[in-house]
Amino acid sequence: MRRSDLERRVTLAATGSAVTLEMVAQEAGVSPSTVSRILNGTARVRESKVRAVNAAISKLQFMPNPVARSLAGGKSMSVGVVIQTLDSPFYGGALAAIEKGLMRASYSGLFVSGHWRESDERRCIDHLLSRRVEGIILVTSCLPDQEIVHLSRTVPVVLTGRSVVGERIYSVDVDSTQGARLATDYLIGQGHDRIAYIAGPVDHPDAIQRMSGYKASLAAHRIPFSKKLVSVGDYSDAGGHAAMVRLLDAGEKFTAVFAANDQSAYGAMLALYRRGVKVPQDVSVVGFDDLLTSAFTIPPLTTVHRSIDGIGECAAEAMIDLIAGRAPVAKVSSATLAIRESTRPIRA
Amino acid sequence: MRRSDLERRVTLAATGSAVTLEMVAQEAGVSPSTVSRILNGTARVRESKVRAVNAAISKLQFMPNPVARSLAGGKSMSVGVVIQTLDSPFYGGALAAIEKGLMRASYSGLFVSGHWRESDERRCIDHLLSRRVEGIILVTSCLPDQEIVHLSRTVPVVLTGRSVVGERIYSVDVDSTQGARLATDYLIGQGHDRIAYIAGPVDHPDAIQRMSGYKASLAAHRIPFSKKLVSVGDYSDAGGHAAMVRLLDAGEKFTAVFAANDQSAYGAMLALYRRGVKVPQDVSVVGFDDLLTSAFTIPPLTTVHRSIDGIGECAAEAMIDLIAGRAPVAKVSSATLAIRESTRPIRA
DNA sequence: GAATATTTTGAAAGCGCTTGCAGAACGTAG
DNA sequence: CTACGTTCTGCAAGCGCTTTCAAAATATTC
């Protein structure tokens, strides 16, 4: 025996269950292989033995050791999830949904955050790979396409918020363009034609989509696009605030603002409030994401709603499919507009 | 060979790195044991061999397989984190910090959410145990003390937001009482004496602390406590909103409100706004938690600040200590008040 | 320089499970 | 009843690493 009895006992306690498959086999009077086969359904086994083994399992309260299982079978039953930041309500929701979807297939998620930094993201991926995850879900990754394609040669990849094509890649693309279009259309429908836009980070694929939705809507309604009405934020409250301040300082007139995400909208609304500009009386504000809190801002925010849960679960399911070698079936619902109190028709 | 070459190649690809410790040993001209020893620093090894091995490692780009490591060494280098909900900004922050702290000791976190349900929480714990986590961090668990003590016989436990004593239990207790006291004291210092309180769930240990801090402050300033000024919420925006509506409908007068957490405060402020009550002109509002967004509400919220990051990192460090068999050293900074624009001195 | 104390090292036995292979058990046909 | 085809089932060889034990190499002492 390698370890002293005491040590061993401690380890056993520390690992939860000391019951091994071998003990089950012995108890049931069959060989370990048989137990394994019953556990995994890898072969037909005589009914009587199945019963004996099941009895032994519940009697001994056996729980297969996933670590050993991974080592022997080469699969870890876990998938890595790279998220940019855990402390945003938006990503929190996505995470919760992914966890749920993964759990359902009895997979575990290893969550790590990349902080919007390519280098961090790479490190995270390495970490996950070293943990032998069976797949990686990239939630709004900031890595270049090519690198993602490369990664997909090692493990299946699911990514959200952007679209990359590849054999073992699945993009849960939420088509932000359409959502942005929806928001802008609505504003225009309410009579606004000087609509400011608070953009997301310029190099962010998702932000680019949103911007283009905004532009497309303007174009469709023959409203000229003006650079002066665009102020770049960074998807954060603070960024939205600063962007609005810049807009206000520039003195350009507008009756509505479309912010690339809810958090930017929060910041923008605060800046407006500080300058004594009333929402929605003087300026209408529309956000994007429909965070849980957005129904409770002052005033409650009109915003583009996408089912974060839906996206997360879809990503998880797609990953399970990919791992199983099946082609995932797409089915993300499109964006809708949650109309609340931060917008109103422009007065004639 | 057990698998066909093709299969094997696929598996290798799927697991990231095909380089094994044995290959390194061969390359360096030493035995696997030696490589292992160098990797883990478990014994002195001749300098020349160390160099050879390191060279081989970097040449082959070897990454030790944590799965094999776990199986052989009995440790999984991962700790389980049970959180109630991922989509609250508060918990998100805690999570991020825990992840960071764990990562620093090259541990991974397995995050699962219990949804405030005892049964879910138990299931999560079982899941984590079956994954052979080396410890479990319970973020505001709703399990009874006794069950936690029991769990600690299996793995070390760190818990936040409440205090349970036990040999392998460490409570990162944040003493919400003091924070609540701070907030109420401040309001009183500003001349308020009719201070409403929006409580958290009545059976929540943390909520009980906050409530008692509120009461203690009143008592210390000889202000009678009135049940009529207390309205129970559930820590959510919606709950805070409802609680405030009830308060307003009851017609009880107050010049300030202290909400048990920021989200309740958001809801309360919205209810106030809807009734045309101005914050802070008519009523001052104080929250608790200092969520990232709280600096961007309208008006920016005065709130009790506790370093969520600090708590999370502290929990992670304590867990590492516990796993290593060391006694964790406590060091959570106490709460402070972030004074912003939702409060003001009462006019005489 | 022999004898002894130390430090390094390698061989080998696992960790708990999966799985290829071949033998055992059963069934069926001749 | 023998021969042959099917199912079952057990044996044993790993998965990649850690660790014990004892042998090998080196250092120390007289």
Provide DSSP, A20-33. Answer: -HHHHHHHHTS-HH
Alpha helices in A105-167 (DSSP H): 118-130, 145-151
Classify residue A199: in a domain, yes or no. yes
Domain that holds residue A301: 176-305
Query: Do A218 and A296 belong to one domain?
Result: yes
Task: Please say whether the beta carbons of A125 and A80 come within 8 A.
Answer: yes
Around Cβ B30, how many Cβ atoms within 10 Å? 20
Measure the CA angle with vertex B302, ends B206 and A115; round to 5°: 75
How far does A320 lie from chain B, in Å, by closest CA?
Answer: 14
* Digit-coded pLDDT (tens) for A3-28: 333 343 333 344 445 799 999 999 99
Question: Helix, strand, or coil here: B265?
Answer: helix
pLDDT of residue A17: 57
CA dihedral angle for residue B21, residue B27, residue B30, residue B36, rounded to 10 degrees: -20
Q: Which residues make Cβ contacts (< 8 Å) with residue B92, sequence separation at least 6?
A: A86, A87, A88, A89, A91, A92, B86
Classify residue B100: in a domain, yes or no. yes
Contacts of A242 in chain B (CB under 8 A): none
Q: Which residues make Cβ contacts (< 8 Å) with residue A314, sequence separation at least 6?
A: A101, A172, A330, A331, A332
Half-sphere exposure of B42 (CA within 13 A, CB side): 8
Query: Do B273 and B210 belong to one domain?
Result: yes
Give me the CA A81–C1' D15 separation in Å, rounded: 25
CATH (domain of A121): 3.40.50.2300
CATH (domain of A45): 1.10.260.40
Rounded distance, CA A87 to CA A70, Å?
A: 32
Averaged pLDDT, A41-61: 93
Query: Do B184 and B219 belong to one domain?
Result: yes
Averaged pLDDT, A239-262: 97
Contacts of B96 in chain A (CB under 8 A): 85-87, 113
Query: Do B265 and B165 belong to one domain?
Result: no
Query: Do B142 and B238 belong to one domain?
Result: no
Cis amide leading into A156 (omega within 30): no
Rounded distance, CA A106 to CA A134, Å?
A: 13
Classify residue B14: in a domain, yes or no. yes
**Per-residue flag: B13 CB under 7 A of strand D:** no
Give me the CA B45–C1' D30 separation in Å, rounded: 29
CA distances from A32 to A38, A307, B7, B72, B139 (A): 10, 46, 24, 20, 39
Classify residue A341: in a domain, yes or no. no
* β-sheet with A195-199: strand ranges across: A230-232, A195-199, A256-259, A284-289, A302-305, A336-338
Classify residue A168: in a domain, yes or no. yes
Mark the ranges of chain B whose per-residue pLDDT is less than 50: 1-16
Classify residue B132: in a domain, yes or no. yes
Rg of chain B over all Cα atoms, to the nearest angstrom: 26
Rounded distance, CA A166 to CA A75, Å?
A: 22
Query: Do B126 and B83 belong to one domain?
Result: yes
Task: Please say whether the beta carbons of A138 and A160 come within 8 A.
Answer: yes
Mark which of A64, A86, A113 sits at the end of a domain: A64
Tell me the nt nearest to A7, Cα to C1': D19
Q: How far is CA A76 from the centre of its chain?
A: 21
Q: Which of residues 161-220 of A touch B (CB under 8 A)?
A: none
pLDDT of residue B17: 57
CA dihedral angle for residue A21, residue A22, residue A23, residue A25, rounded to 10 degrees: 90
Query: Is the minimum CB–CB distance between A334 and chain B shorter than 8 Å?
Result: no
Query: Do A82 and A46 belong to one domain?
Result: no
Rg of chain A over all Cα atoms, to the nearest angstrom: 26
CA distances from A230 to A193, A253, A261, A289 (A): 14, 12, 14, 19
The residue type of B30 is: V
* β-sheet with B230-232: strand ranges across: B230-232, B195-199, B256-259, B284-289, B302-305, B336-338
Provide the mean pLDDT of chain A: 90
Rounded distance, CA A70 to CA A74, Å?
A: 5
Top pLDDT among A198 and B126 is at A198
Number of independent structural domains in chain A: 3
Question: Helix, strand, or coil here: A125?
Answer: helix
Q: How far is CA B301 from the centre of its chain?
A: 22
Contacts of B130 in chain A (CB under 8 A): 16-17, 63-64, 66
Query: Do A126 and A138 belong to one domain?
Result: yes
Query: Do A48 and A133 belong to one domain?
Result: no
Alpha helices in A16-109 (DSSP H): 21-28, 32-40, 47-60, 66-73, 89-104
pLDDT of residue A8: 38
Question: Helix, strand, or coil here: A286?
Answer: strand
For an interface test with A, the pick among B67, B152, B273, B275 (most A C-beta atoms closer than 10 Å) comes out as B67
Measure the CA angle with vertex A322, ends A317 and A328; round to 5°: 60
pLDDT more than 70, % of chain B? 95
Residue A1 has pLDDT above 60, yes or no: no
- DSSP-derived secondary structure letter, A176: H
Query: Do B189 and B293 belong to one domain?
Result: yes
Rounded distance, CA B254 to CA B196, Å?
A: 6
Query: Do A153 and A259 belong to one domain?
Result: no
Averaged pLDDT, A139-153: 91
Classify residue B335: in a domain, yes or no. no
CA distances from A336 to A111, A175, A186, A297, A314 (A): 29, 12, 11, 19, 18
For an interface test with B, the pick among A298, A309, A341, A342 (most B C-beta atoms closer than 10 Å) comes out as A298
How confident is residue A317, by pLDDT bands cut at 50, 70 and 90?
Answer: very high
- DSSP-derived secondary structure letter, A325: T
Give me the CA B40–C1' C3 separation in Å, rounded: 35
Query: Do B114 and B142 belong to one domain?
Result: yes
Rounded distance, CA A339 to CA A301, Å?
A: 8
**Of the candidates B196, B205, B145, the residue with the CA atom closest to the CA atom of residue B174:** B205
| Phi, psi (deg, nearest 5) at residue A98 | -65, -45
Classify residue B347: in a domain, yes or no. no
Query: Is the minimum CB–CB distance between A87 and chain B shorter than 8 Å?
Result: yes
Task: Please say whether the beta carbons of A343 and A284 come within 8 A.
Answer: yes
The residue type of B191 is: G
